[in-house]
Amino acid sequence: MEYLIFGLIGFILVILVIHYSNKGRRKKKIEEIRTGWGNPKKEPFDFDSISKYADTAKECKFHRLTNQTIEDIDFYGLFAFIDRTTSKVGQQFLYKKLLEPTNNATDPSERLIRLFSTEKQLREEIQLELIKLNNNGAYYISSLLKDKLLEKPKWFNLLILDIIIVASLVVLSFKFPVLIIALIVPVTLNMFLHYWNKNNTFQFLRSFPQLNNLINVSKVLIKKGDQFHDKSIEDSIRNLKSFQQKVAFINFENGTGIQSELSQIGTYLTELIKAILLIEVFTLYRITRELENKKVSIQILFDYIGSIDSSISVASLRAGKINTCIPTLTSCSKEFHAKGIFHPLIEDCVKNDLLIKGKSILITGSNMSGKSTFLRTLAINSILSQTIHTCFADEFTSPILKQFSSIRIDDNLFDGKSYYFQEVNIMASLLKQVESLHQNLFILDEVFKGTNTIERIASAKAILSYLNRKENIVVVSTHDIELADMLDNEYDLYHFTETVEKNELHFDHSIKAGQLRTRNAIKILELSNYPADIIREARQITTNLRTTKILSED
């Protein structure tokens, strides 16, 4: 009796220890969630893994950013700042979302974003569930969306005959014990096939268990309220029920480490039965064939969890210290208005206003004055307005656009392409978009700066007029003031400027309407201690060129 009492006490103590241990882990996770709210992540970003879903699920309903635009706006740095997701599934979903601006004037996720902004307890409960999908293995769920998961070997159907032979020999051996010897050949073969199949199992080592987690998390979240309930989610969970039943028959242990060895010893008999009857082999091929036919259900659950997590991420972004606004997206027109717009990755970035009405925009100004940063600021906020419906500005009103840019171009020495040919190729891709049905935003930093002055100006004028057709909006920076007069009827002129005070350059990084009246390029040479003879000659030549209005080739 005493042993029973001590045993009962010991059992209760174990239960209490487990309870308080789980409570402590939960409390720690809640603290981490609260600390991260409104703040960028501090963890490293594995973009090869993050991009897997975007690379696999390539269907795009409206627009997908070009590689050139991705480079131009420092997309990876922008994503690292915006991403506040809790799960790897949500992170992959948000990455794809930012790559693909939509033509929706309103964001379907706005209802959830507002809910998570106000319902702290509900949000934290959901985040505790989403943490279950924060394992790096969750990145590989998207690999299950491929057309073909596992190719059957040609001899696979012979395995059915193999199992029939093994079963027959086992049954007959009760009457004819000598047949046990005959079992050695097929059993040995099956043992070999069982462990050969481990190589096939390995490629699903991360995706299958995490898909199981995805289904279980979906089961929990769908019960969180009417706003999370969706019949398609229920149907998808039901459709994948057989996967959860089958996956229990596969051992995903990697077979390394002391704990794993002990586990294998403890389950040796089960493993032996699986090997002799090829249970794992048949189960794996049945699961992969089933999942190939149920990709739609997997993607529905993936997008369901991803949408919830990305909505929490946007709510966290808006709750941060940096100012944001919800954009107003209008119908097709050549009108655009931004007030207090700024670049989110630049600390204490100067805010600017811009009004576009009927004409595109030509921006002049010296280097370092802020032209390129302003171009990137426009591109980033235009993209964000049509992806997460959140802009870094006081106000942002824009038509629905497809964004294209040419800001950062490098020589491709391996391909043998000069800077100019790189420009030609990129510009050609933009020109193809002009006659399409959608409205475009073209953002350009100089046009053909890789060639001589006369041909550059002539080509730039013709190209900028062509891009400006229909309702397309073009925002371009240039050092060629001559373009201002040539494009006067099509483009409004703006500029950035700097001042020289006490032999130091000062930039206010504020965009101003009208033409740039000051030229400080030679003054900058003087401040950089260039020889006086160079400064004197440069100024004399400048005076002569302005007087005679000569424009020589470079």
All domains in the chain, ordered by first residue: 328-518 (3.40.50.300)
pLDDT at 268 (0 to 100): 67
pLDDT at 552 (0 to 100): 41
Q: For residue 491, give the amino acid letter.
A: Y
Q: For residue 448, give the amino acid letter.
A: F
pLDDT at 164 (0 to 100): 76
pLDDT at 22 (0 to 100): 60
For the record, the structure tokens of 541 come out as: 């030549």
d(CA 295, CA 102): 23
pLDDT 10s digits, 43-96: 999 999 999 999 988 777 899 999 999 999 999 999 999 999 999 999 999 999
SS3 for 101-132, per residue? CCCCCCCCCHHHHHHHHHCHHHHHHHHHHHHH
Tell me how many degrees the CA angle 522-524-530 measures, rounded to the nearest 5.
80
Long-range CB contact pairs, 268-274, < 8 A, 24+: 274/194, 274/249
| Interacting residues of 310 by C-beta distance below 8 A, sequence separation 6+ | 85, 90, 93, 94, 97, 109, 388
What residues in the chain have per-residue pLDDT under 50?
A: 254-264, 266, 413-414, 416, 551-554
d(CA 385, CA 533): 52
Phi/psi of residue 90, nearest 5 degrees: -65, -40
d(CA 143, CA 459): 46
d(CA 311, CA 87): 12
H or E stretch including 363? strand 360-364
Contact 452, 477 (CB under 8 A): no
Q: DSSP string spanning 399-411?
A: E--EEEEE-----
DSSP 207: H
441 strand-pairing partners: 403, 473
d(CA 198, CA 276): 14
| Interacting residues of 124 by C-beta distance below 8 A, sequence separation 6+ | 30, 33, 34
Q: Which residue intervals of 66-183 are DSSP H helices?
A: 67-72, 75-82, 88-99, 110-118, 120-130, 158-173, 179-182
pLDDT at 248 (0 to 100): 76
Of how many residues is the chain composed? 554
Phi/psi of residue 356, nearest 5 degrees: -115, 125
* Cβ atoms < 10 Å from Cβ of 179: 15
pLDDT 10s digits, 388-415: 999 999 999 999 999 999 987 665 544 5
pLDDT at 396 (0 to 100): 97
E strand map for 206-351:
328-330, 335-341
First to last CA, the chain: 103
d(CA 150, CA 132): 27
